[in-house]
Amino acid sequence: MITPARIVFEEDGKIFALRRYSEDLEDFSGDLLKKRVVDLKPSEKLSLFPYGPSAGGFTESIYFSILTSGEKIEAMNYDTSLKDRKISLSGKDILKALLITERINGIHSASYSSLFCDLMERSSGIEISQEIMDLRTLMMEMERISHHLFVAGRLSGGASQNIASMNIYLLREELLRITGQTFGHRYFFGINKPGGIGRDIDLSNIYEKLESIVTEYEEIYRTLMDSRIFIDRTDSTAIIRDEMAAGPVLRGFGKNMDGRLQHRYYNNLNVRISTGDSGDSLARYVVRSEEIFSSWEIVKKILDRNTRFNMVEEAKIDKIQGTGEKISGYMETPSGDLSMILSVRSGKINFFKYSSPSLWNLRVFADAMKGNNFADFYFGLESLGLCVSETGDIR
């Protein structure tokens, strides 16, 4: 199956593309990816409603222009560039580049740093052990559970299910505390290094705690699915059926696609994929909840085979000098597929591009909101699990 191009760029008069879930750059005959342009013209019946960038209760700064009759959304545009940090990795040494990459999207730093390290290792022929792959996978799955809990908390809070929302936040905080105590950092900063890990990790105490979080979430999830109010608020809102979507948004309308299915880190872990039919906010919520359970299944398998990971000193960054050859890959973050291309020369980054899932999900969301009730904007937005920080432009 041909998957959409995620990164397209021109070099030496030729166009290259990296497709979703692909590690291979290919010659491309299509156009460079274009910015979404929507003409929003107010009229006697339609007014332009500005929303953001800071006021309004968003998790991160973002600006929306919504063309509306007051009831319905006619068209919508967005601008994520206001908080664009103008991140540049060119010329940076590998360590600094890794630290910056971890912070492109801090709440998905395990996914970003795992992919960055994977590319570094492949660029220099460094083999990593199964244990290190397992640790990366485990961190990414814990990150997925944490992110999905946050989205579930926001969505249920928005649907006036405040007790449910607080119960979910409680579980998320428990998870973050376990993460902090076990990994030294609540968002996994500073652990991944090319070739290894930066500190010892002992996982012998986390099994029961994680199990109880997931079991408790299951109870909350079943109770929420019995709530008419929650179902009514999320059912049929912000329906998205666009193949350019990523992650739970893509799976929410029945696409059985997930980068973990073919990624070598997940070999022998039997990733269970959940899909929805309706593509609405409810379907995305169900997909996320089911992913919490399947992520726990993966974590359990990894914990069954490892509990201690020692700092790998061979993680020597100076081993990576690079030849300037481009290397590319992908990772399935909690929000969907992340693609990255980079090259290293003389120990410094000399090419770096990435495509984030939030970039695509925001785009398809803006298209899909046409015709929706204005009041459904919030549910649609929260159900995306958007991370504005990762929509920035890498230079």
Partner 1 sequence: MKAWFLRSFKKGIVTSSFPSGKNESLSPWATTPAGDISGEVNCPVDAIHNDKVDSGKCISCGICFPQFKPSLQIPQITTTRVEKSLSKSMKLYIFDSGTCGACNLEIMALNSPQYDMNRLGLSFTNTPRQADAIMVTGVLTDGMIDPLKAAIDSMASPKIVFAVGACAISGGIMGKSISEIVGLDVQVPGCPPDPFVIMAAIEKARGRI
Which positions touch partner 1 (CB under 8 A)? 53-61, 81-87, 95-96, 99-100, 103-107, 109, 150, 163-164, 166-167, 169-170, 172-174, 176-177, 180-181, 184-187, 189-191, 198-199, 219-220, 223, 387-389
**Residue 389 has what DSSP assignment?**
G
Residue 111 has φ and ψ, to the nearest 5°, of -70, -45
Beta carbon of residue 82, minimum distance to partner 1 (angstroms, whole number) = 3
CA distance 351 to 325: 9
Rg (CA), the chain: 21
Q: Of 222, 96, 234, which Cα lies nearest the Cα of 154?
A: 234
Q: Closer to partner 1 at the Cβ: 81 or 130?
A: 81
Q: Closer to partner 1 at the Cβ: 34 or 86?
A: 86
Q: Closer to partner 1 at the Cβ: 261 or 311?
A: 311
Residue 28 is encoded by which pair of tokens? 């491309």
Beta carbon of residue 106, minimum distance to partner 1 (angstroms, whole number) = 3
Q: Closer to partner 1 at the Cβ: 21 or 379?
A: 379
Beta carbon of residue 163, minimum distance to partner 1 (angstroms, whole number) = 4
Beta carbon of residue 237, minimum distance to partner 1 (angstroms, whole number) = 21
DSSP state letters, 62-116:
-EEEEEE-SSBEEEEEEE-GGG------TT-BHHHHHHHHHTTTGGGHHHHHHHH
Angle CA 212–214–217, to nearest 5: 105
What is the distance, to the nearest Å, from the Cα of residue 97 to the centroid of all Cα atoms in its chain? 19
Q: Closer to partner 1 at the Cβ: 103 or 122?
A: 103
Beta carbon of residue 211, minimum distance to partner 1 (angstroms, whole number) = 16
Q: Closer to partner 1 at the Cβ: 61 or 236?
A: 61
